[in-house]
Amino acid sequence: MTTLITKTISKASVPLIILFSISLLIAGHNSPGGGFIGGVMFAASLSLLYVVFGLDYIKSVLNPDWGKWFGFGLLLSVLTAFGAIFFGYNFFRSSIKFIHLPFIGEIELVSSTLFDIGVYFVVIGSLLYIFRKVGDDK
């Protein structure tokens, strides 16, 4: 079912989709987006690759252990949640900091973004893990 057209378009679009998913992740605090959506978008773009080029081909090119991704994500989220304890606050207390950088301007640093990055990795890891397991199954 894969034609040259779909192959070419996927090659061009997948990097863009991934970039877009990262921007969704980072911008999520103030405009539409967030770790979950970003993660699902990342997973969707890679599944496009899987479908278009076939599982075996993609695995020979790019075969990360998705299990590690969601493990890392979960760890990051939990650590963020615990982080507040080390500063003497309650579990899960978030913090905001505004930093002024030259040329770029004011940046808002939020601890919950770190948490969101954890979510991002968990979503990517577990979805693609499931996807590949189901697809791999003979």
Residue 27 near residue 33 (C-beta atoms within 8 A): yes
- Using CB under 8 A as the binding rule, whether residue 31 contacts other proteins is answered as yes
Phi, psi of 49 (to 5 degrees): -60, -45
User: Least CB distance from residue 27 to other proteins, whole Å?
Assistant: 8
Cα dihedral value 46, 25, 76, 90, nearest 10: -150
User: Least CB distance from residue 130 to other proteins, whole Å?
Assistant: 5
* Subset of residues 94 to 123 that bind other proteins, contact rule: CB under 8 A: 94, 96, 108, 110, 112-113, 115-116, 118-119, 122-123
- Using CB under 8 A as the binding rule, whether residue 14 contacts other proteins is answered as no
User: Least CB distance from residue 25 to other proteins, whole Å?
Assistant: 10
Among 52, 53, 73, 83, binds other proteins (CB under 8 A): 73
Give whichever of 14 and 36 is closer to other proteins, judged by the CB atom.
Answer: 36
Q: Which whole-number Å values give the CA distances from 125 to 20, 21, 47, 68, in the listed order?
A: 18, 14, 12, 7
- Using CB under 8 A as the binding rule, whether residue 49 contacts other proteins is answered as no
125 CA to centre of own chain: 8
Q: Which whole-number Å values give the CA distances from 5 to 19, 36, 41, 61, in the listed order?
A: 22, 30, 21, 21
What type of residue is 57?
Answer: Y
Residues in contact with other proteins by the rule CB under 8 A = 24, 28-37, 40-41, 43-44, 47, 51, 66-67, 70-71, 73-74, 77-78, 81, 92, 94, 96, 108, 110, 112-113, 115-116, 118-119, 122-123, 125-127, 129-131, 133-135, 137
